[in-house]
Amino acid sequence: MKTQVGIIGAGPAGLMLSHLLHLEGIESVILECRTREEIESTIRAGVLEQGTVDLMNEAGVGDRMMREGHLHHGIELQYSGIRQRVNMHELTGGKSIMVYPQHEVIKDLVAARLEARGEIIFGVSDVGLHDVETNSPRITFLKDGAEMELACDFIAGCDGYHGPSRQMIPESVRNEKKQIYPFGWLGVLAKTPIANPELIYANHDRGFALISQRTPEIQRHYLQVDPTEDIANWSDDRIWSELTARVETDGWELPDGPIIQKNIVSMRSFVCEPMQYGRLFIAGDAAHIVPPTGAKGLNLAMADVQVLKRGITAFYQSGDMNWLNHYSEVALRRIWKAQRFSYWMTTMLHTNFNHTSFERSVQLSELDYVTSSRAALTSLSENYIGLPFEWEKERTLQI
Ligand code: FAD
Ligand code: DHB
């Protein structure tokens, strides 16, 4: 088999890249190790930045999101029993976020690729990357027991944190920066009415809690737990009483109901530099992980592939590798700002049980400052809603 861009992974990064390349008349093939049913039902992120919403619409895949997603103009921050709304719409000159689950984004992108006769090969195994430092890289894989090979001009490694692509960058070239947090998130999907019109991020002596939503009937909530905690220790009753203790305020009650799914994820920050090796480019979780408090993971994946698409398009228009050779540098500027924001939100909102009483008081004072200062609220809002893509575009134009 032969194509222009071989893409490993049908997550948000791989699918959006393939779709954007198609709109530019560039061919790609996506290799995915899971089934279509699995990728379309895995519960992950829920918040789309304004720029991701705009991208979905401009790329012609935003219709269902605009109909079924929930546009939010702000969030609520809670600490010491006080809850304060952050009017992000007003603070960012009219921008907003969309609550629309990642697996729905996946469904919309898969449908668009298949409708345009794009090729996604599901259920592959033993994916191997070869000759990435040459102009003719190859990907080998097994499909239904048969050995296959995909020859291409470029490989896009969009295969998440555990995929094989990043490992192809030699250790002597690869600089991996990471931070592990002593926090985990217990996430639940529950059959209850919407708890609050907007998301609530709550700092509490017992630990952080996040009240989110999905549909009028099903909601998504998170609790800070120890990352080594066993989910078997968390009965539905224990989850509801802990959520209630952390988020209830006078006159506001958390509706409870049957929990239909629960799991625990650990939290880390991770960046791999550079994100290019020869004709291999890595994007999304393959290159970086953020703790989920800033809701940036999916959005960063979408931002990376826009930069990558620009470089690949420039190559096919003029044969010029210059933009592609600056992919890492341009993408990393946004990535580090998202890392900074996610780290800041995480350390401000979670309860670190190893902290001294001095450190805990400084944390509460930071929340007091952030919720009092218009400058601080504006900074939080512009980062949460997503920094303008123009910043990367301007940098790209200087290349
Ligand atoms: P992925 O979505 O991971 O996609 C990679 C794809 O590559 C997958 O479909 C995988 O099956 C495939 N793949 C992997 N290895 C191979 C291989 N060898 N061969 C072929 N295919 C391969 N972000 C938030 O903002 N909020 C959240 O609440 C949140 N929750 C999360 C919960 C979990 C359990 C995880 C893992 C992530 C969560 N994230 C969250 C992060 C967010 O979902 C990711 O940042 C986003 O999915 C990144 O998209 P991606 O396309 O880069 O990677
Ligand atoms: C959701 C996840 C996040 O990480 C976040 O910061 C906000 C909302 C969610 O899954 O709804």
Q: What is the pLDDT along the chain (399 residues), one digit of tens a residue?
A: 999 999 999 999 999 999 999 999 999 999 999 999 999 999 998 999 999 999 999 999 999 999 999 999 999 999 999 999 999 999 999 999 999 999 999 999 999 999 999 999 999 999 999 999 999 999 999 999 999 999 999 999 999 999 999 999 999 999 999 999 999 999 999 999 999 999 999 999 999 999 999 999 999 999 999 999 999 999 999 999 999 999 999 999 999 999 999 999 999 999 999 999 999 999 999 999 999 999 999 999 999 999 999 999 999 999 999 999 999 999 999 999 999 999 999 999 999 999 999 999 999 999 999 999 999 999 999 999 999 887 777 666 676
Q: Residues 61, 62, 65, 67: is their CA dihedral positive or negative?
A: negative
- Check pocket membership of 124 for ligand 2, CB cut-off 6 A: no
Contact in structure between 235 and 251 (CB atoms under 8 Å): no
- pLDDT for 397 equals 63
Question: What's the gap in Å between 94 CA and the centre of ligand 1?
Answer: 30
Q: Which ligand is nearest to the CA of 150?
A: 1
Contact in structure between 314 and 396 (CB atoms under 8 Å): no
Which residue of 210, 223, 299 sits with most ligand 2 atoms within 8 Å of its CB, as the best mutation to test the pocket? Answer: 210
CA distance 110 to 96: 26
Helix or strand holding residue 68 (H, E): helix 63-68
Question: What's the gap in Å between 114 CA and the centre of ligand 2?
Answer: 29
- Check pocket membership of 159 for ligand 1, CB cut-off 6 A: yes
Q: Which residue has the least CA distance to atom 29 on ligand 1?
A: 45
* Long-range contacts at 168-171 (CB < 8 A, ≥ 24 apart): 168/129, 168/132, 168/277, 168/280, 169/272, 169/274, 169/277, 169/280, 169/282, 170/277
In the DSSP assignment, the letter for residue 364 is H
Structure-token pair, residue 275: 């994100």
Residues labelled catalytic? 72, 201, 292, 296, 384
Other beta carbons within 10 Å of 370? 19
Question: What's the gap in Å between 212 CA and the centre of ligand 2?
Answer: 7
- What residue type is 25 in one-letter code? G
- Check pocket membership of 137 for ligand 2, CB cut-off 6 A: no
Q: Is the preceding omega at residue 274 within 30 degrees of 0, hence cis?
A: yes
Q: Match 């017992």 to its residue by tokens.
A: 206
Written as one string, the DSSP assignment of 87-110 is -HHHHTTS--EEE--HHHHHHHHH
- Check pocket membership of 44 for ligand 1, CB cut-off 6 A: yes
- Check pocket membership of 293 for ligand 2, CB cut-off 6 A: yes
pTM score, whole prediction: 0.97
- pLDDT for 399 equals 65
- Check pocket membership of 212 for ligand 2, CB cut-off 6 A: yes
Q: Which residue has the least CA distance to atom 37 on ligand 1?
A: 44
CA distance 23 to 305: 13
Question: What's the gap in Å between 44 CA and the centre of ligand 1?
Answer: 8
Structure-token pair, residue 68: 């079924």
